[in-house]
Chains A and B, each alone.
Chain A
Amino acid sequence: DTAVSQTPKYLVTQMGNDKSIKCEQNLGHDTMYWYKQDSKKFLKIMFSYNNKELIINETVPNRFSPKSPDKAHLNLHINSLELGDSAVYFCASSQDREGWVNTEAFFGQGTRLTVV
């Protein structure tokens, strides 16, 4: 029973297209995230949502728009795709502890986006 699942696993698309990645967690966690992992394997936070509310937006271009219809889902829509958007995108979730501290983050399997 997958804890954090994201679809699709692979996405190949042309420059200028619009695409979406979906993420769902069945752990009952309060916080969900989107991370981008580039070719050098650096994991960079993009967005953080807590109970459907946007908490963190780490200077991501506004072509990237996250949407959280409920606490268990966090989707990522990308407009006007560019070559530099090619990367692996990971969804993750964690449980809140007191004082804005989180338990460990659990990751989805990743979506490898290739823009051609």
Chain B
Amino acid sequence: QKEVEQNSGPLSVPEGAIASLNCTYSDRGSQSFFWYRQYSGKSPELIMSIYSNGDKEDGRFTAQLNKASQYVSLLIRDSQPSDSATYLCAVNNFNKFYFGSGTKLNVKP
């Protein structure tokens, strides 16, 4: 079993729609959770971090964490073509970041 699981996609949404990305993790001791965006040929860049249960909003992005269900999600409102990228879920514990395999998002104009 992988530490972090994501649907590889691709997930296609029209411009202006809400994109919903999901992630589950296996280690109940995980303490912090992150969403990264990676454009082709580039390094991962942080979008959101979340440390406690509930929702966290930052602009068009909302991260949701449910530790009981071991589930993390990312909502992107008003999706733009520039949001087209691979989104990586990461889980941190004990000086390790485990990454999911990423979900490829396509936002169609």
Residues in A lying within 8 Å of B, measured CB to CB:
31, 33, 35, 40-45, 48, 50, 55-56, 90, 92, 94, 96-97, 99-110
Residues of A within 8 A of B86 (CB): 41
Given A40-B101, A41-B101, A42-B99, A100:B43 Cβ within 8 A = no
Residues of A within 8 A of B93 (CB): 100-101
B58 to chain A, nearest CB (A): 13
Q: Which residues of chain B (34-49) have a CB below 8 Å from chain A?
A: 34, 38, 42-46, 49
Residue B98 at the chain A interface, CB threshold 8 Å: yes
**Is the CB–CB distance between A42 and B101 below 8 Å?**
yes
**Is the CB–CB distance between B49 and A31 below 8 Å?**
no
**Is the CB–CB distance between A101 and B96 below 8 Å?**
no
**Is the CB–CB distance between B97 and A101 below 8 Å?**
no
A106 and B46 CA atoms in complex are apart in Å by 8
Closest residue of chain A to B97, judged by CB?
A105
| A35, A43, A45, A109 interface centre (most CB from chain B within 10 Å) | A43
A96 and B95 CA atoms in complex are apart in Å by 8
Residues of A within 8 A of B51 (CB): 101
Given A40-B101, A41-B86, A45-B98, A101:B92 Cβ within 8 A = yes
| A33, A99, A104, A105 interface centre (most CB from chain B within 10 Å) | A104
Which residue of A31, A97, A104, A109 is within 8 Å of B34 (Cβ)? A104
**Is the CB–CB distance between A45 and B96 below 8 Å?**
yes
Residues of B within 8 A of A44 (CB): 99
Closest residue of chain B to A38, judged by CB?
B101
Query: What are the 4 closest A-B residue pairs judged by CB atoms, nearest first?
Result: A43-B99, A107-B43, A101-B31, A100-B94
